[in-house]
Amino acid sequence: MFNNATILITGGTGSFGRNFTKIILQYNIKKLIIFSRDELKQYNMRKEFTDSRLRFFIGDVRDKERLLRAFDGVDYVVHSAALKQVPSCEYNPFEAIKTNVLGAQNVIEACIDKGVKKVIALSTDKSSQPINLYGATKLCSDKLFIASNSYASGKNTKFSVVRYGNVIGSRGSVVPLFLEQEKTGVFSITDPRMTRFWITLDEAVNFVLKNFQRMQGGEMFIPKIPSMKIIDLARAINSKCEQKIVGIRPGEKLHESMISVDDAKNTLECYDYYIVQPEFKWWNSEKYTNENDGSKVHSNFSYTSDNNKIFLTPKELKEIIKGLLL
């Protein structure tokens, strides 16, 4: 489906965007447009990737006119741009809303107006039962993208959402923090009971690409990924370091959720992923139950980082960390 296609990714100079670029350039695409607001990151990315199919657009998702220009002739869009740091969003709430909510609206309207075929917006585990502003803005963004399939009625544009957990080794994740703290001999542990979902960048990108093929428009796709205990991660990096318990930070959860009990009635379980279906009357779930062996989950089902069936062991975490450092 990507043969001779033009693809655009918002927030394309971030961790996901760089890895997406590395993988999508292996396909026979016509053009990949990197849309972001940081000229220095674009400059650095140009040096890293010299493929002639790459285009770089300076712009902000808050600027609808710039989006309309950038989306001209685009077939597929990945919406990855967002303000993502929890403390930053708490201290700058209006800015978080302008980028994460109003920016999502701008992307949606520009995609419809320019006839983009398919759009996938990236979500986060923090948008399920949110307790901080970042999670709340991303939940609002998720709802906007899902509802936009009705908003785009009569047009060919389809919107879906992919939600996954923390990306191993990405900017702002706990791994770079622990590697830095290792030099001091002391790890700051918020709570020894804390758990998190984990996914690699390659897994996240490939899951997004697969769902461009699966999507009808309106669904939220959630991969089955492992959980890990924060305290096991610290031990995997250096078991000799002291562990200092500092307490959970404002807006932080003890365990993360990707599917709440309230979403269970609309959730299908497939082999290696879940689908949260929209509640639109026109939605056809038979495609998933028949073609993908999707089955309804039980009414009190939830998918959280502490009730996950798959947990990474300290040994497995150590191997993952070693791979990141190579």
Closest CA to 320 of 196, 173, 199: 199
CA angle 87, 93, 97 (to 5 degrees): 120
Residue labelled with tokens 């712009």: 59
Tokens at residue 301, please? 């089902």
- CA separation for the pair 201, 166 (Å, rounded): 10
Dihedrals phi, psi of 3, to nearest 5 degrees: -60, 125
Cβ 248 vs Cβ 212: under 8 Å: no
Cβ 105 vs Cβ 148: under 8 Å: no
Active site residue 64: no
Task: Return the amino acid letter for 185.
Answer: G
- CA separation for the pair 17, 9 (Å, rounded): 7
Closest CA to 165 of 37, 9, 34, 304: 304
Tokens at residue 115, please? 């006839």
- CA separation for the pair 165, 223 (Å, rounded): 9
Residue labelled with tokens 């790890």: 187
Sequence-distant (≥ 6) Cβ neighbours of residue 54 within 8 angstroms: 21, 25, 31, 32, 34, 46
Q: Phi/psi zone of residue 217: left (φ > 0), alpha (ψ -120 to 50 degrees), beta?
A: left
- Among 118, 126, 138, 318, the active-site one is 126
Cβ 302 vs Cβ 259: under 8 Å: yes
The torsion defined by the Cα of 298, 205, 178 and 123, in degrees rounded to 10, comes to -50
Residues with catalytic annotation? 126
